[in-house]
Amino acid sequence: MRKILLVLVILLIAFSLQAEVLFTGNVTAEGSVGLPYTETAFKANSGILEFDFDLSAYKGNLSFQLTADVTLDGVKDASKDNSYFFPNFKRGYLSISELYLDYFYNAFSIRVGRQLVSWGAADFLTVTNIICPEDFTSLFGDDFYDFRLGIDTVKFSYNGDNTILDFYWTPLFTRTALPLEEGNPIKRILVPETISVGGTSINVKDFTSDDIASPSLSFNSAEYGARFSRYQSFVDYSFYAFYGYENYPMMTYTLSDNTLSIKGGYSKTVMFGADASVPMGDKTIRFETAYFPIRPYQTSAQSQLLYSTKSYEEHRALEALAGIDFMGDVWTLSGQYYASYVFGDVSKLDRKAFDNKATLSISRTFNGDEFEISLSTIIGLNVLDTVFNPVIKYRITDNLLLILSGRIMNPGPKEKGEYGKYKELSSIAFSGVFTY
C-alpha cells in the first residue's frame, strides 16, 4: 500500500510538472511443461501472464522513472484440484523494480529511490555485481530485471568526459527473493521434506520467508557502494567497492524431536573489485575480479548439527572471470571462465575452497533480426553439471515476438552440483511477448 501511495505521489509530481512522458511495456504469456525424463513430464509447471511497464517523465534537469510488473498465474486457477504436478506459486502481485527521481546539474547528479544497478563485465555469473540482491524465485529470464531486485538507495554521480563516479548510500535493506512461496517448484529442491544426517533420516520443518530475519532499520545497517569507470580507446576499466549484506541469508539449523528447523539471517560482507574490457580486432576481451577481505560462508547442516558450529564462518575470498566476445554480422559468440577461491580452513563450509565454471553462448540471426536461434550453456567444472538453454525467437511484427526455449539441467557424473540439482525442473517453454 505504501508503495502504491508513493507511486501516486510521484506520478502527481511528474504530471504537475507537465513533463515529457514516455510509456512503454510488454504483455508476456508463458507456459512450460516438464521434459519427458523428469518428474514433471508433460505437466504444466508454469503458466504466467505478466504485464510490465515502464513510465518515464522528463522536465528540464529532473526526471522520474517507474518500472514495474504485475504477474498472474493462469495455471493456478486451472489446477484447483492440484492435478498439476506443481501447484502455482506466483500470485497476482505488483512488483516495483525501479521508482526514482533523478536530478542533474552539469556533470553532477543525484538519484533517489528504488534503482537497479549493474556492475561488472560478466554475463550470467556474479563477480562484483553484488550491490543489488538477487531474485532466486525463478531459474530463467530474459532481462536483468528478471534476476535482480532494485535497492532503495541514494546515488550521487559525477559524469565527466569518459569518466563516471558513483556513490551509493542504501539506508533501507532489501531482502534477497528466495523461492520459499508455497508451490514454487524450486522450493521442493532447496528445502526437501527430509534430509539425511549421519545416515539418519530427519524431517524438515516447513521453511518460509518469515523464518528469515532482516537487519533492523538503523544507521549501522546501511549499505554503501562506489564505482569508478573510465572509457578509453584501448581499454575500459572500472573499480568497485561495497560494504553491506551478503546476498544469501545464512541458515541456522536446529534439531528437535527428529525435526530440523531452519532460521535465516543476513551477515555483512566487504568487497573490492575491478573489471576491464579490451577491444582486440574483431573481439573484445573482458576481465573481472573481486577480493573479499571479509565474506560470510554458510556452514553445512551436518557440521552445525554434529559439531555445533555457527551458521557461518568469515573468510577471505577471491573471484575472477575472463571472457571473450565476438560480434559478427549475424553471429554472436561469447565464452567465459570463472573461478573462485575461499582462503583458510573450509572443512565446515557448505562449499569447496575452489570452484570454477565456464559459459558459452552462441546466437545467429536470420533475415535481419526477424528470426534468431541461440544456445547458452553453463558448465560447473568442479562436478561437470550443466545448464543448456536453447532459444528460438521469431518476430512476427515489431510488437509481437514468439519464443520457444528449452531449460535443461544435468547433474555431474558423481555429484548433482549447483545446476544439476534442478534436473527435475528441466522443461520446454513457449511464450509470446506483445510490446505496447
Partner 1 sequence: MKKFSLLMFLLICCSLTLFAEPTAYEIMKMSKELPAPTAVSEKAKLTIHSKKGKDRVRNVIMMSKDYGDVEKSVIVFTSPKDVAGVGYLMFNYTEEADGSQKPSDNWLYMPAMKKTRRIASSGSDSENSFMGTDFTYGDMDDRALSKDDFTLLGSEIVDGVECYKIKCESHDRKEKDPDRISYISKSDYTFRKCEYYDRQGTLHRVLTCYGIKEIDGYLITTGMRMDNVQSGTYSFYELSDIKVNSNEVEDGIFNVAVLERRAIR
Q: Please choose, out of 1-9, 20-28, 297-305, 378-386, the segment that lies near partner 1 by the rule CB under 8 A.
A: 20-28
Is residue 174 within 8 Å of residue 230, measured between CB atoms?
Answer: no
> Quick check: 211 binds partner 1 (CB under 8 A)?
no
CA angle 23, 91, 405 (to 5 degrees): 70
Q: Please choose, out of 78-86, 308-316, 360-368, 422-430, the segment that lies near partner 1 by the rule CB under 8 A.
A: 360-368
Alpha-carbon 188 to chain mean position: 19
Write the interaction track for partner 1 spanning residues 385-414; mark x where CB under 8 A is met and - where it is not: ------------xxx-x-------------
> Quick check: 5 binds partner 1 (CB under 8 A)?
no
Interaction residues for partner 1, span 44-73 (CB under 8 A): 56, 58
Q: Please choose, out of 37-45, 161-169, 188-196, 380-388, the segment that lies near partner 1 by the rule CB under 8 A.
A: 161-169
Cα separation, 26 vs 417, whole angstroms: 35
Write the interaction track for partner 1 spanning residues 323-352; mark x where CB under 8 A is met and - where it is not: --xxxxxx----------------------
Q: How far is the CB of 200 from partner 1 (least distance, A)?
A: 47
Cα separation, 88 vs 337, whole angstroms: 36
Looking at beta carbons only, is 199 or 368 nearer to partner 1? 368
Cα separation, 411 vs 414, whole angstroms: 8
Q: Is 232 helix (H, G, I), strand (E, B) or coil?
A: coil
- Sequence length of the chain is 436
90 secondary structure, DSSP code: P
Candidates 306, 369, 402, 413; binder of partner 1 (CB under 8 A) is 369
Cα separation, 103 vs 285, whole angstroms: 35
Candidates 71, 95, 221, 229; binder of partner 1 (CB under 8 A) is 229
Interaction residues for partner 1, span 117-136 (CB under 8 A): 117-118
Is residue 255 within 8 Å of residue 262, measured between CB atoms?
Answer: no
Residues in Cβ contact with 152 at an 8 Å cutoff, skipping those fewer than 6 apart: 113, 114, 170, 171, 172, 174
Q: How far is the CB of 100 from partner 1 (least distance, A)?
A: 12
Is residue 340 within 8 Å of residue 318, measured between CB atoms?
Answer: yes
Q: Closest Cα partner for 128 from 222, 232, 233, 247?
A: 247
> Quick check: 105 binds partner 1 (CB under 8 A)?
no
Strands 20-34 and 212-213 turn out to be: unpaired
Q: How far is the CB of 373 from partner 1 (least distance, A)?
A: 16
List residues near partner 1 by CB under 8 A. Answer: 22, 24-26, 56, 58, 102, 104, 107, 109, 116-118, 142-145, 157, 159, 161-162, 164, 229, 231, 233, 236, 277-284, 325-330, 365, 367-370, 397-399, 401, 435-436
